Amino acid sequence: MNFLTPYRRLFALPKFLSSLVAAVAGKLMLGISSVGLLLETAHHRGFQQAAVVVSVSALAGVTVPLRGRLMDRFGYAVVMLPSLVVYLGALTVLVLNERAQGPFTTTVACAFVSSASIPTIQVVTRLMWRAMATGDLRTTVLSLDAVLTDVGFIVGPTIGAFLVVAVAPWAALAASALLSTCATVLLLSLRLPHQRKQPRSADRHWLGPMRLRALRRTMVAVVFFFLGIRAIELSFPAWALQHDSPLLSGVLLSCMSVGSVVGGLALGALPARRSSLATFPVTLTVLFAGTLLVAAASFTWTAVLVVAAALMGMAVGPSFVGLYTTVGEQSPASMAAETQSWISSFVSLGGALGAALSGVVIQSLGPGALLVAAALSLAVAAVVAHVAVRTTPVEPPPADEARRVATTAGR
């Protein structure tokens, strides 16, 4: 089979190109928005106060599961359109307040409101793609989603910084608002799944999908997974500074990102019987081994470390694909948006813990020890993910599939 065959089949699906444009816009928007908020505030108040604004904005990420629950309950359009209006209004007030040198509390409040109301385009796109690409194409589309996320985090901040320098301090936030509007309107015009209001369930638990033991275990694995990723990301700058080569931090991070993109694309091109082997526990185990390789390479030559970082990165993208697949299988159909939204919250928690741990380990033991700690965290994530997958209830096949199997068996 040709490497590009699964992607050709994917692009041939009805409405896929339109959804792809919305997905790209949503992923670029996040990188542009974060840099734009930092530079717009820093231009008027300095980086110390800008850091406070960005931190408060990041705290608003805890509201993502709530927005997911509202989308499951009332439909996507009912939640996303008002959210978009609030997001645009908060950004407008923030920019005007900065230009007028208004109260700092107003800027902080607007940053929190804008982050708490930003349309959850990535969640909606992922759910839409899971509904569009069934069977063996599902791994391909989730691999593409992981690749686009990597590209968005690399390209988005670069575009945002360029707009601030070349146009105006507010230009990046304006671009973020434009991309968010285009992506939201485009997604809602494609007749999304679960778009209608659902009846209230009498047995709905206040924890929502988190009442499921297997899903709770998966989210614990997510915390350890991203704790390890954040520790790896911070170990590279520390290693570069230790060796008086600050530019190498960018090289190492870029190699890791490129490896992640290559790994994601390769997984998406594999036949279903092979890609199905790359489960979340398996990819985490490979990532654990790759991180140990990087830790060992950090005590050798620079060229060896660069190659090791790229090889290790090839397991990062597939790990996210395995995560999205596992969570999708564990998610109740009526709580799909909230379940996917919880990933963002636990990723943020793992990243925060990883940043705190990294500072302590680097100060006392150095970047090599931090890479070993990251590997241990990934090992714990792999074990917990394995337990979570084993305890995931197996859903019965759909009626038409059951009839097909029964007919085949009777022949």
pTM to 2 decimal places: 0.83
Alpha helices in 170-271 (DSSP H): 171-188, 213-242, 247-269
User: Cβ(164)–Cβ(36) under 8 Å?
Assistant: yes
Q: What is the model's pLDDT at position 200? A: 56
Which two structure tokens, joined as six digits, stand for 382?
């792999």
- CATH, domain 208-390, list 3.40.50.300, 1.20.1250.20, 3.40.980.10, 3.30.950.10: 1.20.1250.20
- Alpha-carbon Rg of the chain, whole angstroms? 22
- Determine the Cα–Cα distance for residues 233 and 253; give it in Å rounded to an integer: 7
| Crossing angle of the two packed helices 367-390 and 316-330, in degrees rounded to 10 | 30
How many CA atoms are closer than 13 Å to the CA of 295, on its beta-carbon side? 20
Show the tokens assigned to 396.
Answer: 């019965």
- What's the pLDDT at 184? 92
Q: Where are the alpha helices (DSSP H) in 118-136?
A: 121-132
**Whole-angstrom Cα distance, residue 115 to residue 120?**
10
Pick the CATH number of 5-188 from 1.10.3720.10, 3.90.550.10, 3.40.30.10, 1.20.1250.20: 1.20.1250.20
Q: What CA–CA distance (Å, rounded) separates 364 from 354?
A: 15
Say which residues have a Cβ less than 8 Å from residue 368's Cβ, sequence separation at least 6: 239, 295, 298, 299
168-173 long-range contacts, CB within 8 A, separation 24+: 169/39, 169/40, 169/43, 169/44, 169/98, 170/36, 170/40, 170/95, 170/98, 170/99, 171/36, 172/32, 172/33, 172/35, 172/36, 172/39, 172/40, 173/33, 173/36, 173/37, 173/40, 173/91, 173/94, 173/95
Is the Cβ–Cβ distance between 15 and 132 less than 8 Å? yes
Sign of the torsion angle spanned by Cα atoms 109, 112, 115, 118? negative
pLDDT the model gives residue 400: 41
Chain-centroid distance, C-alpha 365:
30
What are the CA-CA distances from residue 39 to residues 33, 87, 247 (Å)?
10, 18, 22
* H helices present in 75-201, as ranges: 76-99, 104-117, 121-132, 137-166, 171-188
Write the burial class of residue 23 (CB in 10 Å: 0-12 exposed, 13-18 middle, 19+ buried): buried
Q: What's 60's DSSP letter? A: G
Question: What tokens does 40 get?
Answer: 């717009």
Q: Looking at residue 406, what is its pLDDT? A: 40
Alpha helices in 298-335 (DSSP H): 302-313, 316-330
**CB 25 within 8 Å of CB 182:** yes
pLDDT of residue 241: 85
Distance in angstroms (rounded) separating the CA atoms of residues 264 and 258: 10
The contacts of residue 309 (CB under 8 Å, 6+ apart) are 236, 252, 255, 256, 259, 294, 297
pLDDT in tens, the chain (411 residues): 566 788 888 888 888 888 899 999 999 998 899 889 988 998 898 888 888 888 888 888 888 888 888 888 888 888 999 999 999 999 999 999 999 999 999 999 999 999 999 988 888 888 888 888 877 788 888 899 889 988 888 888 889 989 998 999 999 999 999 999 999 999 888 876 555 555 555 456 667 788 888 899 999 999 999 999 989 988 888 888 888 887 788 888 889 999 999 999 999 888 878 888 889 999 999 999 999 999 999 998 989 999 999 999 999 999 999 999 899 888 887 788 888 888 888 988 888 888 888 888 888 888 899 999 999 999 999 999 999 998 876 554 444 444 443 443 334
Domain with CATH 1.20.1250.20 in the chain: 5-188, 208-390
Give the number of other CB atoms < 10 A from CB of residue 332: 16
Model pLDDT, residue 196: 52
Separation of alpha carbons 226 and 246, rounded Å: 24
* pLDDT value, residue 170: 93
